[in-house]
Amino acid sequence: MRKQQQEVDEWIKKIGKRYFSELTNLGQLSEEVGELARILIRQYGDQSWKKDEEPENIKTEIAEELSDIVFVVFCLANQLGIDMEEEFNKKMLFKTNRDFSRHQNNTKLD
């Protein structure tokens, strides 16, 4: 993950000219999450696709939106000096310690 975060930073500096402001990136993140939500709601939720609007390959569309989200998250992390690999590892340890027996004993997941 560190490699990808660095790759985003290098791309911004070489091609993107500079980072957008943190608030602009927050807006972009919200927009991308909304685009992902729109696809998931129509594919797996109760809404239907409008005529001629359904993507040919749902998995590809979802993957593109997730990639957009990750890109913006890396931008924000870089701007704020956050090492996402380190934070992700801490979060996984926290969730493992907190949730292990909770999920193992959840009969709704059987």
Domain ranges of the chain: 2-104
What's the pLDDT at 106?
86
74 burial via Cβ count (<10 Å: 0-12, 13-18, 19+)? buried
Domain at 2-104, CATH homologous superfamily: MazG-like (1.10.287.1080)
| Position 102 pLDDT exceeds 90 | no
| pTM beyond cutoff 0.85 | yes
What's the pLDDT at 40?
97
The pLDDT confidence band at residue 77, using thresholds 50, 70 and 90, is very high
| Position 44 pLDDT exceeds 90 | yes
pLDDT digits (tens, 9 = 90+) for 25-38: 999 999 999 999 99
Over range 8-24, report the average pLDDT: 96
What's the pLDDT at 60?
97
What's the CA angle centered on 22, arms 83 and 90, to 5 degrees? 25
| Position 103 pLDDT exceeds 90 | no
Say which residues have a Cβ less than 8 Å from residue 73's Cβ, sequence separation at least 6: 29, 84
